[in-house]
């Protein structure tokens, strides 16, 4: 008797679950008589800010101090998010352009050497040319870290040999740079 009652109760509950799937609803992009503009999907109210967006924007306004840890974090994130297009040294010869996509500009071009560090952060945030925005893919603090690493790449490719230590100059002359 108890088993039959449990079975009946379970069947009744499961039958009620189907009502959720078959209830009336509006298509997201469809028309709806509920709203004045007749559309089902509505714009968020003026001034609406997604949770956490203000804090993220504040991080973009504040340039972090330049430290070895920041550059190391930038190197790590650059290898993950940027090198596929920009290549490991920043010349724009990554794997993606080798498969027919447009080549990004070299970070070693005079224009990008002269650009401000915040330019790189802005491009990662909003995109530029054929590069789409990485706002949702790269955290604001990591954008600053990547920008710092790009500066390190630029310095590494333009360092005069005379500034190297004698042992490093000897390695360079020997072809083991």
- pLDDT tens readout for residues 78-116: 999 999 999 999 999 999 999 999 999 999 999 999 999
The pLDDT value given to residue 136: 86
The pLDDT value given to residue 167: 87
Q: What mean pLDDT is reported for the chain?
A: 86
Give the chain's count of helices (H) and strands (E). Answer: 9, 0
pLDDT band at 40 (very low <50, low <70, confident <90, very high): confident
Using CA atoms, how far residue 18 sits from 7, 22, 27, 154, in Å, is 18, 7, 19, 62
Q: Is the pLDDT of residue 9 over 80?
A: no
The pTM assigned to this predicted structure is 0.66
What structural domains does the chain harbor? 54-173 (1.10.760.10)
The pLDDT value given to residue 12: 64
- Residue 4 tokens read as 């039959």
> What does the alpha-carbon distance between residue 91 and residue 147 come to, in Å, rounded to a whole number?
15
The pLDDT value given to residue 15: 62
Q: Are 174 and 161 in contact (CB under 8 A)?
A: no
């Amino acid at each position: 008797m108890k088993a039959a009652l449990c079975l009946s109760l379970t069947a009744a509950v499961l039958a009620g679950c189907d009502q959720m799937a078959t209830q009336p609803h509006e298509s997201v992009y469809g028309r709806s008589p509920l709203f004045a503009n007749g559309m089902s999907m509505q714009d968020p109210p003026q001034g609406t800010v997604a949770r956490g967006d203000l804090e993220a924007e504040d991080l973009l306004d504040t340039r972090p101090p330049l430290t070895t840890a920041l550059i190391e974090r930038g190197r790590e994130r650059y290898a993950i998010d940027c090198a596929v297009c920009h290549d490991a040294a920043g010349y724009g010869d990554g794997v993606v352009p080798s498969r027919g996509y447009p080549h990004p500009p070299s970070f070693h071009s005079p224009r990008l050497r002269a650009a401000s560090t915040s330019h790189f952060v802005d491009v990662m945030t909003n995109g530029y040319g054929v590069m789409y925005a990485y706002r949702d893919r790269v955290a604001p603090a990591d954008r600053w870290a990547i920008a710092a690493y790009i500066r390190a790449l630029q310095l590494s490719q333009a360092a005069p040999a005379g500034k190297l230590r004698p042992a490093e100059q000897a390695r360079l002359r020997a072809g083991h740079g």
